[in-house]
Each structure stands twice: as C-alpha cells, then as structure tokens.
Structure 1
Amino acid sequence: MLSSSTLMIAVFKRGLAIRQAVKGGLGSRNTKLDKNLPQIRRKKAWEKAGEDKDSWFRKKYAHVHAREKNSGDLFGKKKAHTDKLAQIDQQTKNERQEHERKFEKRSATQGLRVNPLMEYVYGTNGVLAALQGGKREYFTRLLHHGPLPTTIAQLAEKNDIKVMETDKHRLNLLTNYAVHNSVVLETKPLQPTEISHLQLCDPEAGKFQYSEMIFDNEYSTHDFRYLVNEKKKFPLGIYLDEVVDPHNIGAIIRSAYFLGADFIVMSRRNCAPLSPAVSKTSSGAVELMPIYHVDKPLNFFSKSQEEGGWTFVTSCLTNSDSKMKKYSTGKILEMGALNGLCQELPVMLVVGNEGSGVRTNIKMRSDFFVEIPFGRQIPNKETPVDSLNVSVATALLLSNLLGV
C-alpha cells in the first residue's frame, strides 16, 4: 500500500506531464485552432458532380428561364389583360384628378370673375324684366342658387343663355352684397338713345317725333307712340337734371312706369348711370320704360319748345332763390293746376338734384314752376325736414298731372 506522500508525488508528476503535452500542442504562436479541431465540411452539389459552380447552375436551371419566357401565354392574352387593367387604373386616376380640379378654387370668384365689359343685373323682377324687355343686345350667363323660377328658366332657354348654379357667397361678391334674391344675370349694359330734341305731337294719332343724334350735327327722326286715355291726350315726359343717387333714379322710373308717364330724358354727363342698382330699385321698370340721354340740355329745352311746342314744368322751391323771382313771376302753378294739363299740351316735368335742385340755367328756360306745399305750419326755428325726397316729389307731381 502506497503512502500518502508517494501518492501526492505521483499526482504532481501526472499533472506536469499534461501541462507539457498541452504546451507542446498549442504553445506555438503560428499554430491555428482549427487544425486541432475535427473538420466536418459538406460538399456542394457542383463539387460532387465535379463541375464548376457556373456550369452546374446553367445546366440545372436553363429550362426554368426558358419556361418563364413562354409561361403558357402563347397568344398574349395575359399581357393584354394586364395592359387593360393598367389602362383602367390610369383612366380612373385621370378622372379623379379632373374631378378634383373642378372644385379646386384659388379664389372665391374663380370661374365667376367679373367681366368689365358686362354688368350683373340682380333680383327676380330685374332679371325677369331684362329678359322680357328686349332692350339689351345680348346676355351671356344666368347664375342662380337654389331653384330657378320657371318663367326665368323658360326665357333663358328661349334666349339660349347659359345657366349656371353656384353658391350664394359668389353671388354676393358679383353683386357687391346686394339683395340679389339668388338670381344674377350677366348681360351687356343698357345703352340709352341720345336725342337732340322733341318735335311736334299728333294727338289724333297718339304719337310725336324726336330727333336722334347720329353724329355731332346729324339727326335721324323717329316716331314715338304714347299712352292716350280720357285723362291724357298729350304725352308726358320726365327730365332728370343731376340726379346722382341710383336709388332715387330707380324709384322715379318705377313711379313713372306705374303711374303712366311716357318716357324719361336724362342729362348724360351728370346723372347716375343706369346700373344694376337702378334696375333693382325700379323693380325692372328700367327695362320697360323708354329712356333717352341728352348731351346738351339747354339746346334740348330750347328746340323742343320752339319746334315741338313742349311745355317744361320745373319742380323747385319758388321762394328760396331771390334771383329767380324775375323769371318765375306769373309762372308759378299750384299743385291743383297740374291736373288736366296733359289734356291741353305736351308736358315735360323737370326734377333736379337731391341737394341743390334744378340748375339755374335750366330754370331760366322753364315755362312754369311748381312747388309742393309744406303740410304743417313752418316753425320759427329751422327744421331738417323741409322738403321731400326727389322720387317721392316726382310721384306726387305725376299723380296730379295724370289725375290719378
């Protein structure tokens, strides 16, 4: 039996031998670890076949590429179907883009921009009268929001007018936020005939003649048929001198048409134009009432009096201008004296500016003057209500002249 010391020496020698063996196998710095490990490597298919990689792949998969070239589509049906699907997809995309472009607006009035050569008549009555009156040369578009009145729709179709439905905000912009009743007509502005003077009347035939201005010194004579009834044998016209408020002009035209006046003459240079606001205020009467322009009012007064025998009655405050006393002496008429005047002679009623009234040179050529009396006792102190609006005053004078 070995002693304990002998056993320890044997173990030490065994361990020393193992360390030397390991050191001998791995001690060299140039020795790689994989040389001391078992090498298990799987051979590739081309190695097994004894061929290079490229040749082996060409040989094995050449038929697959050929099959892809002719993958059963011998007559090109699959390609045609694919092309058709691509075409349908592109067409759908184009239609969608076109639809989006229709509703793409850079500004609120894009597609409905104001045309400087046209004007926009608004309001149901104004549009209807414009389509019925036939005084305008042409119309371009009828814009509306919501249901369109049947009569207007029929007239638009008859006149071959393009009808467009839009939103109310764009109609507000086109009419400058006026009361348009959701109907706006784009049309050429009214062009009143310019005349030189009025000529003699023929009460038996119910007509008179007037001279239309063609060039500076050339005229063309035309007949005008006026209204005749038991209270009116001769024609009645209205002359507007420097009336600048379009709402007043519209109200005068409406009253004149309703009460039975025959025509209106306006000073071309200093009266408000016949705008859509005038059409709206007149409820369309501007489209139905004969309206003329005069470029030289003084010549118009003088020639109409001399060649046509017309009588000019001017509305004014007879006591307000001391200079006019010598011209108005013996020419002032009471309101009641106007009744029946159209039974005796042709009459032109002259009304003037909202603030200053009729100009002095016009008054000097007038035949008579009339003043609407103040209905209350005039107080000692000044009052802001010292006269009537020109449109209201005109309606009262017309009523007396026509005996309405």
Structure 2
Amino acid sequence: MLRSAARSYSTKIRSAVRVPNESYIKDKKVTFDRSFPVQKRTKAWEKDGMDKGEWFKKNYAHVHARQKSERAINGDNDPFDKRSKHYERIKQEGSYKREQFRNHRSEYTRAHPLQGLKPNPLIDYVYGTNSVLSALLAKRREYFVKVSHYGPLNTQIQSLCNKNNIQVEETEKHRLNLLTNYGVHNNIVLECKPLQPPELSHLGVVNSEGSTYDKVEMDYDQSVNTRDKFMTKENKKFPLGIYLDEVVDPHNVGAIIRSAYFLGADFMILSHKNCSPLSPVVSKVSSGTMELLPIFTCAKPLQFFEKSKEEGGWTFVASHLSGSKSKTHLTLNELSGMLNELPVVLVVGNEGNGVRTNLLNRSDFTVEIPSGRNPEEARNTIDSLNVSVATALLINGFAN
C-alpha cells in the first residue's frame, strides 16, 4: 500500500532539472555553437546580393583591361607576370641550394693538422710504425715528448718507450688524424724535436783501407773536421754519395732516401735552398730510413763541388738529358765499376728543370738513362723517368 502511494506522488511532482531524453532530442540537434555567440562578417558581394565572380568582374574588369593594354603596348606577352615570378622562384631555389651546399661542405672540410692545438715549431709529429720505430732506434733527434696511439701498441715501440722514459698516451683516432693532417699514421704518432741535419762545407780524403772518409762540417761560423765510415763490398771499395739539387716534392725526397738506403748509398746531401725539408711526410714515405741514412745540407754548392774535388779527389756525376756523345757523357752500363776506382757523388736535379747549369758545368761526368721507345714517335709525350725512379736506377748502376 505504501509503495503504490509513493508511485502516485512521484508522477505528480515535477523534477527541478529537465533531463534530456531520446524523445526530447530525436528531432532537435544539440551542438556547442547553439549556445556560443558568433559574429559573422558580411561580404561585399553578399550585401549587393551578387555572386563573388560577378561582383569582381563588375567592379574590377576595367582595371584588368587597362593593365592588359599597357602590357601589350610595352611588348609584354605575359599579362599575369608569370614568367618573372617563375624566374624569381628558380633564382630563390638556386640560392637556397647553394647555401645548403656551402653549409654541408663546411661541416666536412679538412681541418688544419694543428687545429685546436697550440702551434709549436719545436715539435715534429712523426707518424707510421716504421718511422716511429726508426726514430726511437736511431736516436738522432735531441728529445722525444710522447707517443700517442690508438688501439694496441707495437711491443718493440712499447719497450723502447719504457727504456727511454717516453710518455705513452692512448687517444682517439680523430686526434691522430688532426696531428698528421689525415696521413696514413697506422694509429701511432711520435711527438719529438725536428731532425736538423748538419751543414756540410766539403768532403775530404777517403781511406779505402779503413773504409772511412773525411768531411768538414759547419758549426755556425766555425769549420769542424769529422770522419765517418762507409760500407764496402765486393764491387764497392769507395763511398757513394747522393746530392739532391732543388728536389721540392717531399714524396720524391722520401722515395729517393728509401732507394738510396736500400741500394747501399753512404750519405745524402740536400741543397739548403729550394729543397724539401726533412718533414714527417718525408719520413713516412722513406719508411723510416730518413732516420738511419746520414743526411747533410749544403748552403754553398759551387764551393762544395770545387773543394771536394781539390781536397778529396771526389768525382761528380750529374744526371742530364743531353743526347750528346762526348767523352764526359756516360751510359748507364759505364757506371759499373766506378766505385772500385774512386769516390763518387751522384747529382740529381729538380723534377722539371733538372740539375742547374752551373752545377752541370762543375760536374766531371753526365749520365743519361736511355728510353726504350722511339723519341720521334708522335704519341711519345714522356722523355724521362720520375726523379726517384731514375735515381734508384743510377744507384743500382753504380752498385752492379
């Protein structure tokens, strides 16, 4: 009875909040915009009750016609200026691509070998396993700073560093690339003092029995007499020296030093001016033989030639493409056996111009390597060998 009474009262009392139901909203869409005030701007053509295209044609057709007639009078066949806009767009795209290329290239430019490092003219960065090992074995440099390496270190180099109290530091490969200017460093670099070859005034007397030769070195303004040993063998009783006259390419100098050391030359002399210095590149190309072969410099080559012939009886043989058949011009076969009779200095000249004329005039003999082809052949553009290859052949001619 109580339940029936409660139901009768609930049907008579109306709720305070009207709850929407399916019967209320089925024909009426409820949205957010319904309760949100919107201020809509009336367009000009809507005010006039016209279509947009008709309205613009009515109000601006005369302006377009006037611009078209002006372009026709000026000879412009592009009424809407599409051509100039196209060219402008191409120009902007081109400038954007060039700027993008410059930015990309700047990210991968080759860095200076001493970038980020303090430049030190008293330090050489010798790189390569053989070059570092030869420098540590020869001990011709005044001091060694440290050995920087990436990865495992050569056991012989490690023992030499421990023996001579040289600092060993493992570093990243990029640092080694910067130190060597991206050379083939074999993951090892030796920081040491640059090799300073002594200055030679002239050569002295040769003692074939004792296998020694005298020489006069320059210590600032004073002359110092010294004596060195040379190598002897069955067909070599006198020393052989190599004089490089203005050979400027360090790769050629390194290759000549390597060939001279391997084929048995006793020493090498570099012209003081216009000759490649003994840099780490030369040491790398020579595979470390730059540290082992006695090397000197000469500031006065004319005086060196004259005094060496007068006081020591040395014979100078210059490589020269003359083509003459004079008595002083030798063939490659005639070099054999010369070292059994007298000491010889082989003079090798510049890559392009050869030996200078004043040194040719003071040389005792000239020698030429004959070509295997007809020099008058139309397609023949090569008249000589590379200076390092030619020097190796000439040294071998003396040795055999």
TM norm structure 2: 0.70
- CA deviation digits over 1:315-374, x for unaligned, max 9? 01013xxxxx7xx83200111110010000000000010010000001000000000000
1:293 pairs, out of 297, 309, 313, with: 297
Quick one: distance in 2 between partners of 1:393 and 1:286? 19
Aligned partner (choices 165, 182, 199) of residue 177 of structure 1: 182
Aligned counterpart, 1:237: 241
Counterpart in 2 of 1:35? none
Residues 115, 178 of structure 2: 8 Å contact kept? no
Aligned position for 1:147: 152
Separation in structure 1 between the aligned mates of residue 118 and residue 214 of structure 2, nearest angstrom:
43
Determine helix, strand or coil for the equivalent of 1:385. Answer: coil
Alignment gaps of 5+ in structure 1 = 1-106, 320-324
CA RMSD of aligned residues (A): 1.7
The 10-residue stretch of structure 1 (111-120 or 218-227) with the greater mean CA deviation from structure 2: 111-120
Query: Structure 2: how far apart are the matches of 1:120 and 1:110?
Result: 14
* Within-5 A mapping of 1:306-345: 306-319=310-323, 329-345=326-342
Residue 137 of structure 1 corresponds to which residue in structure 2? 142
Pick from 356, 375, 378: which aligns with 2:375? 378
- Does structure 1 conserve the Cα–Cα contact (< 8 Å) formed by 2:202 and 2:304? yes
Secondary structure in structure 1 of the residue aligned to 2:360:
helix
How many residue pairs align between the two structures? 289
TM-aligned CA deviation for residue 379 of structure 1: 3.5
- In the alignment, the residues of structure 2 paired with residue 318 and residue 111 of structure 1 have an alpha-carbon distance, to the nearest angstrom, of 51
Deviation at 1:197, TM superposition (A): 0.2
Deviation at 1:114, TM superposition (A): 4.5
Q: Name stretches of at least 5 consecutive residues in structure 2 with no aligned partner.
A: 1-111
Residue identity in the other structure for 1:231: N
Deviation at 1:117, TM superposition (A): 1.7
Q: 2:350 aligns with which of 350, 353, 362?
A: 353
| 1:4-403 pair list within 5 angstroms | 113-216=118-221, 218-319=222-323, 329-381=326-378, 383-403=380-400
C-alpha separation in 2, matches of 1:109 and 1:222: 38
How far has the Cα of 1:167 moved from its partner? 0.7
Q: What does residue 28 of structure 1 align with?
A: none
2:264 aligned partner, one-letter code: G
SS of corresponding position for 1:239? strand
CA distance in 1, matches of 2:267, 2:179: 30
Deviation at 1:181, TM superposition (A): 0.3
Residues 279 and 227 (structure 1), Cα distance of their counterparts in 2 relative to 1, 3 Å cut: same
Partner of 1:65: none
User: For the structure 1 residues 338 and 108, does the alpha-carbon distance in structure 2 shift closer, same or farther, using more than 3 Å as the test?
Assistant: closer
Match of 1:99 in 2: none
SS at match of 2:258: helix
- One-letter identity of the residue aligned with 2:209: E
Runs of 4+ in 1 over 3 A off after TM superposition: 107-114
Distance 1:382 1:296, change over 3 A: farther
Distance in 1 between the 2:224 and 2:114 partners? 44
CA contact (8 A) 1:112 1:170 kept: no
Could you tell me which amino acid in structure 1 is paired with residue 345 of structure 2?
M
Change (3 A) 1:232 1:254: same
Q: Deviations over 1:260-291 (max 9, x none)?
A: 10000111112000000000000000000000
In the aligned structure 2, how far is the partner of 1:209 from the partner of 1:118?
32
CA contact (8 A) 2:253 2:282 kept: yes
SS of 1:379's partner is coil
SS at match of 2:316: strand
Shift of 1:162: 0.9
Deviation, 1:109, is: 7.5
Give the superposition deviation at 1:113. Answer: 4.5
- Indicate the SS of the match to 1:293: strand
- 1:303, 1:383 → 2: CA distance? 41
Counterpart secondary structure, 2:268: strand
Distance 2:114 2:210 in 1: 53
Query: Aligned-pair distance for 1:159?
Result: 1.3
Q: Deviations over 1:233-263 (max 9, x none)?
A: 0000000000000000000000010111000
Q: Provide the TM-score with structure 1 as the length reference.
A: 0.69
Residue 261 to residue 165, structure 1, CA distance change in 2 (3 Å) = same
SS at structure 2 position matched to 1:387: coil
TM-aligned CA distance change 1:145 to 1:299, over 3 Å: same
Q: Percent identity over the alignment?
A: 58
Counterpart Cα distance in 1 of 2:364 and 2:115? 55
Q: Find the residue that maps to 1:298 and give its secondary structure.
A: helix
User: Structure 1 pair 110/251, CA: closer, same or farther in 2 (3 Å)?
Assistant: closer
Q: Distance in 1 between matches of 2:117 and 2:168?
A: 12
